Amino acid sequence: MKQSIKEILKGKPIGTEVTVCGWVRTFRSNQFAAVSDGSCIQTIQVVVDHEATDPGLLKRITTGSAIIATGTLLASQGKGQDVELKATHIEVVGDADPEKYPLQPKRHSMEFLREIAHLRIRTNTFGAVMRIRHSLAYAIHHFFHERGFFYFHSPVITGSDAEGAGEMFRVTTLPLNKIPFTPEGAVDVKKDFFQKETNLTVSGQLEAELAALALSRVYTFGPTFRAENSNTTRHLAEFWMIEPEVAFFDLQDDMDLAESMLQYVISFALEHCADDIQFLKERQEQEEASKPQAERSPMDLVSKLKFVVDNKFERLTYGEAIEILKNSTPNKKGKFQYPIEGWGTDLQSEHERYLVEKHFQKPVILTNYPKEIKAFYMRVDEGEKTVSAMDILFPAIGEIVGGSQREERLDVLTRRMEEMHVPLEEMQWYLDTRRFGTCKHAGFGLGFERLVLFVTGMSNIRDVIPFPRTPGNAEF
């Protein structure tokens, strides 16, 4: 395999002949081409002898063009880099017409780049984000594998419509212009591909529970689909979710697992993506320099990540959080849009942000929520008022993890499902786990893009996934 720019810059084989394949970022003074191949944030400087090179070829070395350059690697005579490639042969294999190529060697707005998502991967920022995204995915697999977890593949097409995690995308091969109906006037799903109603998964949790009660420690990591009409910087219609599920785990074990996992993968990124994170840190600082002090990040990106790795998350119950919020200055001064009424109301994002960003100034794990505001599968606590749920809240992102100890008692679970109108008949396969060899178990869901958002310091979730799917947008 040819050496990547990352390998050349690391090995620095000065004096030897090397070949660089990549795309030109800038071409300065008709002499210095900054070439990137995406292997790292750095470019390599290819020095062209402009007096000995055909002017027609020189004109084709433009921003965005693909080139193959061969020459000797030398210590750089200039200041900005250690080494440079003194080209003896240069070939433009793919021209990029400078009149038409949309990327210029300058800052572009995120909104503009989103419209050219097929090209934005070539920018420094998106290159860094994509490399960090890869490293985080790799670190997640590594973390679980080392701890004896099995990667379990829950189905993407689900026949269950009782997952209760949100609106679903219908999967069908029925012709929309000629839908078959039953004599009663309903859609005749027996004529459909699966002979029943099917949807894209909104969660692999229920299937992961089945696996945990057989393999003990499992996790899923796959695409997840929510047809909610959510228009925020934290929501996607198609996103990736990690869902570990562990037999004989209680809520405390679950929190320990989630916290150590987040700290592990963030420190993995700090170690293996240091250059990319450093680039994004400086980018964020430049961007915030023009903002008023109050809108700037309290910590730079690297400090923020190190802080999360080095400090325990704050753990408290929902009830304790309500007390803190009730007595908080913004609540007393009527600054909250939704004033804290007391125990039982769901927390709004302004409340979560106050706890995380103002009161504790660190990640917070909230536990033991009122059972009325949480899902049917969460274990009912003693006293029947709360469930063993936990949400991990991160600054600027909000809920990054949602998890719980699961209700393993068949009678309690069936009662809860009846209360919450979950169709029991369709869920017998799920209830079988409680009928046969049930045991306490727990798990959580981690929104992968929210993790990438946090680690990269980007401000919109649409900029940490290659081709974002949101209401009204499924380009590329």
Please report, as residue ranges, which positions from 237 to 256 form the binding site for RNA (by CB under 7 A): 237, 239, 241
Rounded (5°) CA angle 167-218-144: 110
Please report, as residue ranges, which positions from 150 to 169 form the binding site for RNA (by CB under 7 A): 165-166
Write the interaction track for RNA spanning residues 431-470; mark x where CB under 7 A is met and - where it is not. Answer: --------------xxx-xx--------xxxx--------
Candidates 235, 371, 379, 416; binder of RNA (CB under 7 A) is 235
Please report, as residue ranges, which positions from 215 to 234 form the binding site for RNA (by CB under 7 A): 226, 228-234
* Cβ-based nearer residue to RNA, 51 or 310: 51
Q: Which stretch binds RNA (CB under 7 A): 31-39, 135-143, 181-189, 301-309?
A: 31-39
Candidates 88, 104, 195, 327; binder of RNA (CB under 7 A) is 104
Candidates 402, 409, 431, 467; binder of RNA (CB under 7 A) is 402
| Residue 409 makes contact with RNA by CB under 7 A | no
| Residue 94 makes contact with RNA by CB under 7 A | no
Please report, as residue ranges, which positions from 310 to 329 form the binding site for RNA (by CB under 7 A): none
| Residue 50 makes contact with RNA by CB under 7 A | yes
**CB of 435: closest distance to RNA in angstroms?**
25
| Residue 71 makes contact with RNA by CB under 7 A | no
Candidates 15, 56, 78, 148; binder of RNA (CB under 7 A) is 78
| Residue 348 makes contact with RNA by CB under 7 A | yes
**CB of 349: closest distance to RNA in angstroms?**
4
**CB of 296: closest distance to RNA in angstroms?**
15
* Cβ-based nearer residue to RNA, 192 or 322: 322
Candidates 3, 62, 135, 220; binder of RNA (CB under 7 A) is 62
| Residue 81 makes contact with RNA by CB under 7 A | yes
